[in-house]
Amino acid sequence: MKILAVDDDEIIRELLSEILNALGYASVVLAESGQEALDILEATTDPFDCLLFDIQMPGMDGISLVSQLRNTVEYARTPILMITAMADRKYVDSAFAAGATDYITKPFDIQELDSRLKLIDALVTERKQQQDRNPVNWSGADNAIMNPADTSQRLHIVDVDGVIDYLSLENYLLQMSRAALFGNCVFSVAVKDAKHIFRGASQYEFQFAMTDVAEAISDCLKPFKFFVAHAGEGDFACVRDTGRSFDQKEFQTAVAQRLREMDLYYCDGRPMVLHAVVSEPVQLDWRSSRSSVNALLKTLQNAESEANALETSPKQNGAFTRRLFG
């Protein structure tokens, strides 16, 4: 795995170089500033697999560097691990909002760094071998018909406020837990009958329908601080601050109204009717680093179960099917 490490502190750079080499990562390039990092990235003919960024640096800070790289084709999806002394929530939130994959605070534990890099290395390898499970890399024509397995993979949704990749969302929760930062709740949203709705649909239709659902969720979560991630099929995992004021039914109604306002259609002109079901929220108390992720997974299961149990009368179901499939 080819790594670029960026830090303005020479001692940290030397330390990172020694540690990374000891951990078995021989291909490591160092930079002392954001601008130098950009120059290195532009000049290389062999793209880097992993990027390690400090936050507080003269000139361009690490978060700005993340934002800039996420707008490039070459590094839109490259894992970025923040290694920084900044432990305050505003820095954690800003880093993940900009597109960071993971976050470690200084002074860091070598075993912890090793475990994070092993996960990143496995992700890089998997993406190279299997065309990625998180997020989906659509290949071929936009009009290609969806395979049943395609809907289960996690999409990379861009240009929607607060929407990040699922792996980043899990890492965000883990970092909040490690830092004992309180006040969040997790919940999930499931589109009822997503597999049925998108059976025979094109990749383009599925990608943009899920982007529209993500946008509806995002719009309804404002002005709170939040993150949303596509979790496969029609499922979305969400984390929001001030969880005790979250009203499940009110939010579900708001998302439904926003989806109706979007007036969605298939490419052939048929209306696309999407019903979003919202799980009960779970208030996080950060008892352990994994409990927050386990709570998130539980809300995904609950949202799917509630969507599957949603009753539709035979008359309504027939009209629903005719609208979708003619």
The more confidently predicted of residues 311 and 229 is 229
In CATH, the architecture of 3-130 is 3-Layer(aba) Sandwich (3.40)
The pLDDT value given to residue 131: 52
How does pLDDT run across 174-203, given as a tens digit for each residue?
998 887 667 789 999 999 999 888 888 888
Q: Where in the chain is the domain with CATH 3.30.70.270?
A: 148-325
Per residue in 95-144, pLDDT (tens digit) is: 999 999 999 999 999 999 999 999 999 989 888 775 544 455 444 445 66
Residue 82 pLDDT greater than 50, yes or no: yes
Confidence check: pLDDT of 318 > 50: no
Give pTM, 2 decimals: 0.88
SS3 of the chain: CCEEEECCCHHHHHHHHHHHHHCCCCCEEEECCHHHHHHHHHHCCCCCCEEEECCCCCCCCHHHHHHHHHCCCCCCCCCEEEEECCCCHHHHHHHHHHCCCEEEECCCCHHHHHHHHHHHHHHHHHHHHHCCCCCCCCCCCCCCECCHHHHHCCCCCCCCCCECCHHHHHHHHHHHHHCCCCCEEEEEEEECCHHHHCCCCEHHHHHHHHHHHHHHHHHHHCCCCEEEEECCCCEEEEEEECHHHCCHHHHHHHHHHHHHHHCCECCCCCECCCCEEECCCEECCCCCCCHHHHHHHHHHHHHHHHHHHCCCCHHHHHHHHHHHHC
Locate CATH 3.40.50.2300 in the chain: 3-130
Mean of pLDDT values over 12-20: 96
CA distance 80 to 99: 8
Task: Please give the CATH topology (third level) of the domain spanning 148-325.
Answer: Alpha-Beta Plaits (3.30.70)
- In which band, very low, low, confident or very high, does the pLDDT at 168 lie, cut at 50, 70 and 90? very high
Whether the Cβ atoms of residue 260 and residue 272 lie closer than 8 Å to each other? no
